[in-house]
Amino acid sequence: MLFIDQIKFLPKEVKRFIATEALLGIGMGIFGLVLNLHLLALNVSPEQIGALNSVGTLVMGAAAIPAGFFANYIGRKRIFISGITLTGIGYWLFGLGKSIGVFYLAQIIQFIGISFLITTEVQLLFSYAKTNELETVSYSLLFAIFTLFSGIGTLLGGFIPNWFPYGNTKYQSSVYISATLILVAALLRGILLPCVNNSFDKGKSKLLLLNIRIYQVFDKKILLITFYLFLAGMAFSTIVPFQNVIVKFRMGWSDEYVSYLLTVNGLILFFASMIMPWIINKFGTIKAYYYVYGMNLLFAFILAFNNISVMMFSTIFLLRSGSFTLLNNMMESQTMSVVEEEKRDFFAGVKSLLRSIGSAIASYLAGYILENKNYTYPFLITFIILLVSLLYFVVFIKPIFLEKIKNGKFSFEEEIQKDVEGM
């Protein structure tokens, strides 16, 4: 069945989920572009911004496991909506704040919210999708819509400061607009999305649930996958949280030109998200990973050189973003698919914790590097991290995927033949 045909058969809950993702994307797109610029305008240094990101990601990790437990007891949707709401409140505090102490408070609230959101989002979406095949399609479409509208938000973020240059900095009104959009998204999702009970928890005593959780801590497969995502978190946070700063100062561009490039970047991410199911279906899971890893390593290596032209940098930068998004989405969706339904909330919490620790380390390191005005080292570090990640994938993750493929549990019917042929 073609990807477009599969979209037609998505349940209405999935379609509502994806439609409201547009507001979230616009709000986060605006915020992602203007926050660092807003903080820099308030004399917050790049190193302090890196420290803020590190604290935020550590808080996100610390909140992830409690979020997974809460999702089991009071429902995924309630934690999910609470997460979006807290994110919006954190955004508002960034707009109101003038001191580093308020910014830390805003960062903590925002990242608790993001932790609640990402710890429940995929499982909630998958519970609406109902089948393995529609899980992959739903995830791809969700991320595609998010990146498309995040790109639109990024474009708006380049112009809103000029349209409404009011407040402590010319970016303050943009921060407030992004916060409002996030809160509206929370309201709409609270109204439109149904609560889905975790049926595997019904009738189980709290003692039995505790025993299950303790057993899951020692689940070898979950531990292997979560460390794999720890490396992914490092690769992500070395560049992505700072890409507007890297582009602005490496190229010497204005905010408007930065927003143009990052808007095109959002369109590339949209395309990369949409083709993920096709890539996996075309090549099989294992071959797809090898090809996508190869592209990411090549692009990161090229960007590590400082003497490339503006045109070449822009082109490779966009290709790197698209290929990394493709790899990241494959990691997120495929690792969740190999975990049993009753373990997914716990797995989401643990992976968020490990990924957050990796992100915190990388964010602090990247902030320190950028403080010294070196805009090529983040790409070199990303290259090294991805190389380690590829080796880890070959040794530890590939066998887990092959076992799942041979059991016929992945989403695509031709996986077994393609991956066996590729071994």
The closest of 40, 36, 28 to 156, measured between CA atoms, is 28
Q: How far apart are alpha carbons 48 and 378 in whole angstroms?
A: 17
Q: How far apart are alpha carbons 350 and 335 in whole angstroms?
A: 13
Last residue within a domain, chosen from 211, 236, 268: 211
Last residue within a domain, chosen from 177, 211, 245: 211
State the amino acid at position 155 in one-letter form.
L
Looking at residue 74, its pLDDT comes to 81
Does residue 5 lie within any of the structural domains? no
Q: Say if CB 137 and CB 7 are below 8 A apart.
A: yes
Provide Rg for the chain, Cα atoms: 21
Looking at residue 85, its pLDDT comes to 96
Last residue within a domain, chosen from 148, 180, 211: 211
Does residue 1 lie within any of the structural domains? no
Q: Where are the alpha helices (DSSP H) in 75-171?
A: 76-96, 100-129, 132-163
Does residue 272 lie within any of the structural domains? yes
Q: How far apart are alpha carbons 329 and 125 in whole angstroms?
A: 15
The reply to whether 97 and 135 lie within a common domain is: yes
Spans of the chain, pLDDT less than 50: 1-3, 199-212, 214-217, 411-423
Does residue 68 lie within any of the structural domains? yes
The reply to whether 388 and 405 lie within a common domain is: yes
The reply to whether 92 and 227 lie within a common domain is: no
Q: Say if CB 194 and CB 53 are below 8 A apart.
A: no
Q: Which domain holds residue 91?
A: 12-194+201-211
Q: What is the pTM of this model?
A: 0.70
The reply to whether 28 and 166 lie within a common domain is: yes
The reply to whether 113 and 219 lie within a common domain is: no
The reply to whether 134 and 252 lie within a common domain is: no
Does residue 119 lie within any of the structural domains? yes
The reply to whether 185 and 229 lie within a common domain is: no
**Strand locations in 235-298, DSSP E?**
none
The reply to whether 179 and 323 lie within a common domain is: no
The closest of 306, 313, 304, 291 to 385, measured between CA atoms, is 304
Cβ burial 121-130 (10 Å sphere, 16+ → b, else e): bbbbbbbbbe
The reply to whether 133 and 231 lie within a common domain is: no
Q: Say if CB 300 and CB 320 are below 8 A apart.
A: yes
Looking at residue 135, its pLDDT comes to 72
Count of structural domains within the chain: 2
Looking at residue 214, its pLDDT comes to 47
The reply to whether 135 and 245 lie within a common domain is: no
The reply to whether 237 and 381 lie within a common domain is: yes
The reply to whether 221 and 159 lie within a common domain is: no
Cα–Cα–Cα angle for 324, 327, 329, rounded to 5 degrees: 105
Does residue 4 lie within any of the structural domains? no
CATH of the domain at 265: 1.20.1250.20
For residue 178, what are the CA distances in angstroms to 34, 98, 173, 251, 414? 10, 18, 9, 26, 43
Q: How far apart are alpha carbons 288 and 296 in whole angstroms?
A: 12
Q: How far apart are alpha carbons 418 and 423 in whole angstroms?
A: 9
Please name the residue that has the structure tokens 């076992």. Answer: 403
Burial of 358 (C-beta count, 10 Å sphere; 0-12/13-18/19+):
buried
Does residue 7 lie within any of the structural domains? no
pLDDT tens for each residue of 181-221: 999 999 999 998 887 655 444 444 444 444 445 444 457 78
Does residue 264 lie within any of the structural domains? yes
